[in-house]
Amino acid sequence: MEYPPSPAGLRRRPGGEAVFQGRAAAVPRLRRRPGLTRGEVQAQGSPRRLPGRHSVQGHLRVGLRRTETSKLDVVDFGRNPQARQFGRYGTLNVRYGKAKKGQPPRRRNVLSVMDWAVEAVADYVENVRPRFGFPDHPALWITERGGRLQPGSINDRFEAYRDAPKLPKDLVPHSIRHSYVTHLTEDGVDRRFIQQQVGHECDSSLAIYTHVSDDFMNTSLHKALAPAFAGA
């Protein structure tokens, strides 16, 4: 059987098996923020991390923007009848999403999908936040002095947690959004669902956020080619 010419980024092993080698050959060169591996993400969310870690965990749990994270209130959580295992943390009402020029902030409901992240946030709300002594403050993330945690403070805390295990310096809070999109993509989650989760209008924006591994690319390639070569 004669095989068609390989597209850019594909190489054939002896015997005709197609493999993907390197994203740069198949994807336009775009300046992307780096992402975190699954292990690095869960290390940031570990209950044994440094004090003040919970604001970063909230940022991690659904790939929010810093301003979206800062402006969350305790009452923004809700139950999802389709995911009862998450209890009162099944949904999150993001009220201050990124706005278009001249328009008010865009709202969206974000669904919980990662159980370890829900556990981290529940630990903060139920065990850590009450210790600050401001039960009537509406903000979810509060400081030791009873103020709402600001985006700049999220930056500072993220950098402390990034530097403690000597992760790359070019990782920034927004890298967490990229990682969230990438990990859901590798888990086979529908792209439209991911797009709604992170508040993107265009799928092209979502593509820039995705940093899938070569192993994932190879698996996807084999699935795509299987029907064509089934009768070979």
Catalytically annotated residues: 65, 101, 174, 177, 200, 209
Block residue for tokens 């403050």 = 137
**What is the rounded distance in angstroms from the CA atom of residue 155 to the CA atom of residue 160?**
9
Closest of 175, 213, 205, 148 to residue 59, by C-alpha: 175
What number of residues does the chain have? 232
Q: Are 109 and 92 in contact (CB under 8 A)?
A: yes
> What residues contact residue 50 under an 8 Å CB cut-off, 6+ apart?
160, 161, 164
Cross-strand partners of 108: 94
CB-CB contact of 21 with 9 (8 Å): yes
Q: Strand 106-111 to strand 91-97: parallel, antiparallel, or no bridges (unpaired)? A: antiparallel
Residue 87 CB contacts under 8 Å (≥ 6 apart), including other chains = 79, 122
Give the torsion through C-alpha atoms of 59, 64, 68, 71, to 10 deg.
-30
